[in-house]
Chains A and B, each alone.
Chain A
Amino acid sequence: MIEVGAALVVWLGAALIVLADARRGLALGLAAVTIGFAVLAWGSGQPVGAIALLVGGLTGALRCWTPGPATWGLMPPGSTPRLVLCVAAGLLSLWISASVTTTPGGPLLFAVLVVLGLMAARVLSGGDKVADLTAIACFALALASSPALASSIPTAPVPYIFGALIAAAVVVAPVTLPQGAARSGKDGG
């Protein structure tokens, strides 16, 4: 039951990231996704992985929360398609994980599918850089958690730790060099 709740928290967090355009909304979404995946990792017998995800994801969420204007930016005008996308992605993932597959790790499958689908949609829809980086951080958390889907193969904490590091780094580290002198292949021949 806890795992089902955690999967729903993951969906809620991913939906927040899709629906929010400002830092606080994105930070809350990342935190929810982090907590959800950490609980799921703990439930699949990976306490080290769960702690790693929690530290990495919450570091990213904290960094996302602090700078910039203190606004949530939730559901700005014209958000109906995004809302429909969140509901549809949730229902499709629920159908696949609960009805199509017979695997015992249904909640984890639901969480992985919904995050991959919604975050890919978020990046493809072309938001601002902070939203894209937050979506990529969620991606890292989902990718780190997905090895546990294979019930026959024992999972190691390495993907969790690596995924958590990426989730923290992409939000914390400045990844863009100063603009200017971008054209004419000065650095690449």
Chain B
Amino acid sequence: MAAELLLAAAATLILAVVLAPPRVQRAGLLTRGLVGLAGMAAIAIAPTLDLILLILLVLAVLQAGLVSHRDFASRVRAPVLAIALLALGLAFERVEGPPLLLRFGAVGIVAGLVAAIGLLPYLHEFDPEESTVASPIPWIAFVGPVLAVAVLSRVKQVLPADASDAFGAMLIGLGLLNVLWGTVAAWRTESDAAAWRYSFLSDWGLVLCGFGLAIADGQGAALILLLSIVLGRLPLYLWSRQGVRDKTPTDRPINLLVAAALAGSAPFAGFAARVMLLRGATQIYWPLAVVLAAAMLLWLPASLRLGRSMGLPRGRQAIGVAIVLALSVFLGIYPQPLLALAG
């Protein structure tokens, strides 16, 4: 699964560099993106969680060292807390002790993962004016997917069977919380840029629910949703920044198409993922499917807002948006080869 996400991240980097607006420094973007990709590749092939945490520490320091008006301490805070929670959780899983300690370990791992991705409230400061590479967006949309897959696959080695159920339940609980929080916050916020950030949270909520279900449908849905974050929402966010700055909401057909893709409507990738997620939730516990379906419907108005905020894509932006929408349609109509590849 991590290999597919790594390839998707590489493709997104190429798209972002080649189709970047003329004022963006492509060399700098490419260099930083390649450093991130190298870190993600190291995370994907690291045999143990300890090595993943050390690699994460390096990435955190490198990102916090980038030029930004936010100080080093405020940018390194979230990853350091994430690593601390993951390491504490891992330590509790490794030692011999009462079952309660193992459950605390599972809590630490889930909380650390959520903090590393950027889903904990108030921890990742988001400034719409900050450059994307120095902002929390790379954590949530570029490094995060590979990290989550790597951590969740390695954690099975250390998590005992009786803590696995609690682990899955926590993922689902936090997932639902993020879906609702992301949706409501994207509605209520005045800033379009903040609404884009909350849209990532909402998608991640569905991903966490998919992983928490621990059945094939849930895992498949999580993979497609992660790919739609990396290959869809992230590049669309990058190309929307000019429109968001100009504050020129547009109601052209292309904006409606973008809104449909972001909402997970048919035939885009999000639709297949949502159907699989609902099918998986029905198998496990049907009221969960009802809650998920309601949350998915709630997301529609916010998606329309995001689609309008893009403005009218022109030139390279328009080509990029067309490529992303085409990829999303392909993934939505024909996800089976990808799912088979991921096992």
Q: List residues of chain A with CB under 8 Å of any chain B CB.
A: 96, 100-103, 105, 109, 112-113, 116-117, 119-120, 123-124, 126-129, 132-133, 135-136, 139-140, 142-144, 146-147, 149-150, 158-159, 162-163, 166, 170, 175-189
A180 contact set on B, CB distance < 8 A: 67
Q: Interface stretch among B95-103, B203-211, B250-258, B259-267?
A: B95-103
Is the pair B51, A162 in contact by a Cβ cutoff of 8 Å?
yes
A163 to B241, CA, bound (A): 38
Q: A117-B84, A166-B54, A189-B16 are in contact. Are A176 and B65 (CB under 8 A)?
A: yes
Is the pair B61, A187 in contact by a Cβ cutoff of 8 Å?
no
| Interchain CB contact (< 8 A) of A143 among B53, B71, B95 | B53
- Jot down 21 A-B pairs with beta carbons below 8 A, ordered by A: A117-B88, A119-B84, A120-B80, A123-B77, A129-B72, A135-B80, A149-B94, A159-B54, A163-B54, A166-B54, A166-B57, A182-B69, A182-B130, A184-B131, A185-B130, A185-B241, A186-B24, A187-B28, A187-B134, A188-B132, A188-B134
Is the pair B129, A181 in contact by a Cβ cutoff of 8 Å?
no
A183 to B32, CA, bound (A): 17
Is the pair B94, A187 in contact by a Cβ cutoff of 8 Å?
no
Task: Count A-B pairs with CB separation below 8 Å.
Answer: 161
Q: A136-B57, A140-B57, A188-B24 are in contact. Are A181 and B84 (CB under 8 A)?
A: no
Minimum Cβ distance to chain A for residue B62 (Å): 7
Q: Determine whether B246 belongs to the interface, using a CB cutoff of 8 Å to chain A.
A: no
| Interchain CB contact (< 8 A) of A175 among B61, B74, B77 | B61
Is the pair B83, A139 in contact by a Cβ cutoff of 8 Å?
yes
| Interchain CB contact (< 8 A) of B77 among A126, A128, A129, A144 | A126
Q: Determine whether B48 belongs to the interface, using a CB cutoff of 8 Å to chain A.
A: yes
Is the pair B61, A136 in contact by a Cβ cutoff of 8 Å?
yes
Is the pair B241, A126 in contact by a Cβ cutoff of 8 Å?
no
| Interchain CB contact (< 8 A) of A142 among B32, B87, B101, B238 | B87
| Interchain CB contact (< 8 A) of A126 among B32, B48, B73 | B73
Interface residues on chain B, number (Cβ under 8 Å): 55
A70 to B16, CA, bound (A): 47
Q: Determine whether B322 belongs to the interface, using a CB cutoff of 8 Å to chain A.
A: no
Is the pair B57, A143 in contact by a Cβ cutoff of 8 Å?
yes
B81 contact set on A, CB distance < 8 A: 120, 123-124
**A-contacting residues, B27-80, CB 8 Å:** 28-29, 32, 48, 50-51, 53-54, 57-58, 61-62, 64-69, 71-74, 76-77, 80
A136 to B58, CA, bound (A): 10
Minimum Cβ distance to chain A for residue B307 (Å): 19
- Per-residue CB proximity of B103-139 to A under 8 Å, as 1/0? 0000000000000000000000000011111110000
Is the pair B32, A187 in contact by a Cβ cutoff of 8 Å?
yes
Which among B32, B62, B64, B101 has the greatest number of chain A C-beta atoms within 10 A?
A: B64
B80 contact set on A, CB distance < 8 A: 119-120, 123-124, 135-136, 139
Residue in A closest to B238 when the chains form the complex, CB atoms: A189
Is the pair B64, A149 in contact by a Cβ cutoff of 8 Å?
no
Is the pair A146, B95 in contact by a Cβ cutoff of 8 Å?
no
A149 to B89, CA, bound (A): 12
A183 to B95, CA, bound (A): 46
Q: Determine whether B156 belongs to the interface, using a CB cutoff of 8 Å to chain A.
A: no
Given A182-B131, A189-B239, list of 4 further CB < 8 A pairs? A139-B84, A146-B91, A187-B134, A189-B241
| Interchain CB contact (< 8 A) of B96 among A103, A124, A166, A177 | A103
Q: Determine whether B90 belongs to the interface, using a CB cutoff of 8 Å to chain A.
A: yes
Q: Determine whether B20 belongs to the interface, using a CB cutoff of 8 Å to chain A.
A: yes
| Interchain CB contact (< 8 A) of A178 among B67, B73, B131, B135 | B67
Q: A124-B80, A185-B24, A188-B135 are in contact. Are A177 and B241 (CB under 8 A)?
A: no
B91 contact set on A, CB distance < 8 A: 109, 112-113, 116, 146, 149
| Shortest Cβ-Cβ A-B pairs, 7 listed | A175-B65, A188-B132, A188-B131, A120-B84, A188-B133, A103-B95, A101-B97
